[in-house]
Amino acid sequence: MILADLLYKVSIRAVLGNTNIEVNDLQIDSRKVGNASCFIAIKGSVNDGHQFIDIAIKNGAKAILCEVLPIEVSEKVTYVQVENSAVAVGFLSHNFYGAPSEKIKLVGVTGTNGKTTIVTLLWKLFTALGNECGLISTIQNQIGDTILVSTHTTPDAISLNSLLRKMVDAGCKYVFIECSSHAIHQHRISGLQFTGALFSNISHDHLDYHITFDEYINVKKSWFDGLPSNAFAISNADDKRGRVMLQNTIAKKYYYSLTTMADCKGKILDNSLTGLHMVVNDIDVYFRMIGEFNAYNLLAVFEAAICLGQDKNLVLQLLSSLDGAEGRFDYMVSSRDKIIGIIDYAHTPDALLNVLATIKKLRQGNSRIITVVGCGGDRDKSKRPIMAAVACEYSDQVIFTSDNPRSEDPLEILHEMELGVNVVARKKYITIADRKEAIKTAVRLALKEDIILVAGKGHEKYQEIKEVKYDFDDKQLLNEMFELMER
């Protein structure tokens, strides 16, 4: 494309050179720059792209977009100075790939917990309704039946618009995307045209990045503040910040709830291991999914489907037969002793509490809850003692173990978790740093009809230790342990 056309809607401070030049591609990594690339220098949390402008030019860049112009400039290169490179790259990408988000119905979901389940359910629902759909989530990206590996909850702006372009070309009518707080703050979704936006809930998470809880809230709120008037915004009225999220948006506002007045009102009649029996807007319906937290997820999906013009009865009929996302309350039962194993991605205090509270309500007789849990390295340290306290409060036996320790010492992470355990609960837990041994030990400790929760990693098929990702699958390992029990 011609550079001048790419700059549509970009806030420009100055231009040095000719904008009537052809650009072959967009790059934010100087190592990937080729002939006639446009290199966008972004100030990141670790590296500043401005340091790599010279390398980008040597690699063939013909256009440089930056916030600070270099002291020495080349006459062979066009320089565009902008207010914010991270915002600008979103608009450049949108223009370069032919405004793909304007050619589909793009629906985003944000919140601490529930994002993956909600977008996955939306994808499954609208696929079942006969549509070609795209999915962009923590677990995987998907174009129709084609699955693509997902490396981030929300990709960078260039990758995201490229993916949306592929979805448009494949005939997708709807695309459902997770919008993480990191992605909103780093402007990865800038320039996209959203048909709708959903808020699930907000609780303690990512304070290693956002520093304060108020900043974390305001980042998510900023996305809703910027929605256009023809979009819809859906929020959880039962979350104490649910109405705050939508207070400044000009989009059409809708709310869902289990306890207060809302556009979509649900009531749980029965919650068991066989599923949920609910009344949704006066319609009696059974769902295969389990737990109060999934009741909220289902209400969010139902309200989004109605906002997208679908028939409420057909939507509930299809939703009643759907399962959620992989690694979200996945459970299995050993055939001999009927021990229940549950795999869940819960990696925040609130998510862990929700899962354990649900398990506690569902357990029968004298069955015990055995929880295997850890905390990720190089992430919010303040939640570690809280996670440990929650696990001990809601479990009969707890095994603290490694999650993804990354660059940190696993034993130090475990020590920080133990600081949250009070004197009374100290007899409840043991510490086993090796995650495989921790899961094996949980199975050995389990008696007939006990419940084992393995929390924190969910769908992940790896464990990251010292920058190396080793093959590791909680569900596969637990299943193997159950099979050994039967021999």
Based on the domain organization, do 138 and 282 belong to the same domain? Answer: yes
**17 pLDDT above the threshold of 60:** yes
* Domain stops at, among 273, 288, 319: 319
195 with 92, same domain: the answer is no
Q: Binning pLDDT at 50, 70 and 90, where does residue 153 land?
A: low
Query: End of a domain among 319, 340, 375?
Result: 319
| pLDDT value at 412 more than 90 | yes
pLDDT tens digits along 227-256:
999 999 999 999 999 999 999 999 999 999
Q: Check whether 113 has a pLDDT greater than 70.
A: yes
Q: Are residues 365 and 468 in the same domain?
A: yes
Owner of token pair 């618009």:
161
pLDDT digits (tens, 9 = 90+) for 208-222: 444 576 788 888 999
pLDDT at residue 88, as a whole number:
97
- Shared domain check, 158 and 123: yes
CATH number at residue 34: 3.40.1390.10
CATH number, position 421 = 3.90.190.20
- Does residue 325 belong to any structural domain of this protein? no
Range of the domain at 468: 330-485
Tell me the per-residue pLDDT of 264-320, one tens digit each, with 9 for 90 and over: 999 999 998 889 999 999 999 999 999 999 999 999 999 999 999 999 999 999 999
- Please report the pLDDT score of residue 46 as a whole number: 81
Total-model pTM: 0.87
Same domain, 130 and 263: yes
- Average predicted confidence (pLDDT) for the chain: 94
pLDDT the model gives residue 204: 57
- Segment 257-265 shows an average pLDDT of 97
What pLDDT digit, counting tens, does each position of 427-482 carry? Answer: 999 999 999 999 999 999 999 999 999 999 999 999 999 989 999 999 999 999 99
- Does 438 lie in the same domain as 390? yes
Judgement on whether residues 104 and 83 belong to the same structural domain of the protein: no
Domain co-membership, 302 together with 399: no
pLDDT of residue 210: 41
> What is the reported pLDDT for 294?
95
Number of domains in the chain: 3
Q: Is residue 353 part of a domain?
A: yes
Task: Kindly tell me the burial class for residue 227, based on how many C-beta atoms sit within 10 Å of its own C-beta (0-12, 13-18, 19 or more).
Answer: buried
Does residue 324 fall inside a structural domain? no
Give the confidence band of 485 by pLDDT, cuts at 50, 70, 90.
Answer: confident
